[in-house]
Structure 1
Amino acid sequence: MKKLAAAAACLCMAMLLTACHGSRQTAKFEIPDTLDESKPIEITFWAKNDTNKNQTAVYKKAIGDFEALYPNIKVKMKLYTDYGKIYNDVITNIATGTTPNVAITYPDHIASYLQGADTVVSLDELMADPKYGLAGSELKFDGPSRQDMVPAFLEEGVIEGTQYALPFMRSTEALYINKTLVEKLGYQIPDVVTWDWIWEVSEAATAKNEDGTYVANGQNVLIPFIYKSTDNMMIQLLKQQGAGYSTEDGDIELFNDVTTQDLKDIAAHAGTGAFSTFKISGYPANFLNASQTLFAVDSTAGATWMGAHAPLSDISPDAFTEFETVVRPVPQVDANHIEMISQGPSIALFGKEDPQEVLASWLFAQYLLSNDVQLGYAKTEGYLPVTNKALASPEYQEYLSLAGTDNDEHYSVK
């Protein structure tokens, strides 16, 4: 709570400083009438992959296909393993004027990038441009129109009334369950798991045999319930309870009686050994795959790490266990009113002196929304494409229909 109070104090100070400097300024950019294809242009693209070679391959293919369409534009990619590192590098490079042209990042990070003019490009006019905007007449590829974008995902990139980001991929969280261990304890898994139910089963799973091993798995190690992101856990739980967290105006509502009781309840379950977190114990997937947890909450973007036959499982061969994995929504307060977080990376453009360079960056950003890229990336993990065009495509529907036919591209848990 002390850390939260300190964070709130810093946030309040930041809001005061922002107010002193006035409203945000957008990058000064006028759309050229025509892309100059005789002029060599190099743009930099900063992206993240979870050491997933399939994601890297999608990026490389997208760059190659884009450069084939626009031979005068060269895309130089820099890969990161953490969005926080992209954020830190962008913040550092703003001061030196060496930001990338295009970055895969998060809208809340983009809000921090908006330190003045020429930092992040406003996308409203670009999106609406009849020639080079979404589904524009001069595009050399079949990009989505504004109507093709999932409205809720697009709205997440609006900051103070201005579109600063395009969605790239979206995910949520999932509850990955070792069904074999749950049923061994005598429980049946409901379609929607409630907090009351998961706490009951998790406490039951702390029972031990006389030799000190756990009844559920016969091992010396068992953490019944592990949550990857405690930030998301708190945000979703308070939302489900109708309690305050924060407002769009920056009002901090987190410090309330509901939060206090939640922390006490969670601490009690942690005290019995029924609950832990990633920061305390480690990756939920490693415990799940070794049958050392019953319930693991992690992003759907990490689905290929989860389960007995997970293609990206990195536990040692001797720790492997055989069990049935089922997936449910994250625990809910009300099973009839599901509340889940929307998360996932977005695309931002950074201001440059040369309008042609910015236009080239905008074309590449749009290309990342084409079906080839959207479907290719979505198939690497449990991501959702951000366009209705991709979601409704025969290729994506076929991909979904083949779930479980192999433990690679069509891995059932993913």
Structure 2
Amino acid sequence: MNILMGIVGIAFTFLLAWIVSSDRKRAFSKWKNIVVLLVIQLVLAFILLSTGFGEALIGGLAAGFNALLGFAAEGVSFVMGDLTTLEDGSAADVFLFNVLLPIIVISALIGILQFTRILPLIIRGLGLLLTKITGMGYLESYNGAASMILGQSEVFISLKNQLPHLPRHRLYTLSAQAMSSVSLSIVAAYMTMLEPQYVVTAIVLNLFGTYVIVHILNPYEVTDSEDAADVDDNPDAGKSFFQVLGDYIMDGARVALTVAAMLIGYIALIAILNQVFLLIPGMNITFQDVLGYIFMPIAFLIGVPWVDAQQVGSLMATKLITNEFVAMLDYTTMAEELSRKSQAMISVFLVSFANFSSIGIIAGSVKGLHNESGDKVARFGLKLVYGASLVSVLTAAVVGFFA
């Protein structure tokens, strides 16, 4: 049954991508690359979710991130003092302390890896490998690897020399990759709310899934003359070690505070909307319940059991209109009510930046580097969210085979 529903889910996702394709006649012109990328997704999902090797690998990564969270707790405890502990000596369960502030420490480590040129070497290596299988140019391959590590804002800095020369269709692909990924600095935060195996699986599958969706939704060819590998993977050149470290620490602080502000605003607004709906005579239903019923058919068609489809649909919609953190917090309150398969599928769906607020973040980041390119991104913003969301839908459908 899992296999049948998985096939239906993938076919349904392809249909949704084809409907809004910029060139429907060429949508499956690179079908060989699509098949290869899909097979890679299935193989990786099997290894990560159904083998001892995958379990050991994810266990090691989770242990590493947990250790980093422990080190981060020491810094947080020094600054926040008694606020981080309860009267019995146990750690206080405060989201800001346990989830958001550790982002600063992870960001600092990324800065060190950038300064020592280790991270750029890894990204370039992955980019070159991806050019062999994606059917796209080097720039798209490099950006896919970079987005998976750096995040949706920082990744465009390395492309600042290319942005003025990029046509709309290539800019769409680069933006979709940024929106479909997550920043390495917040992976540990995700692992405090979702099972580590699903966080890692989603990051890896989204990397390949973006190319699949873009081949259908935004098909094009890149000539050799258009594909110059002119990327600046050392934007911190000329800075001292402590300048770079300080910059990344402050970047981490801005991310943590931005997420905190968005959570306060979005959760409060959703609570207001839920209460408004409950005040409607004859209706004992919340705003999130309504969203769940709207997205319920989509959740079912990609393989979520019908009994869980409304709740999963609600989480999908919450992520789309707010952000992944809000949806993850909602998920933690209902996870035990869902089947194991539903837990796996919604967990991987939530791991990406695909939501409406990301339009402004990406457009603003690009606009800061090249004004006209930023305007282009803003104009295809809705289609960008649509495509990036389909990447998450495809990842969920693939995971459904093995959950």
TM value normalised by structure 1:
0.25
Q: Which of the pair has more CA radius of gyration? A: 1
Q: Report the structure, 1 or 2, having the larger helix content.
A: 2
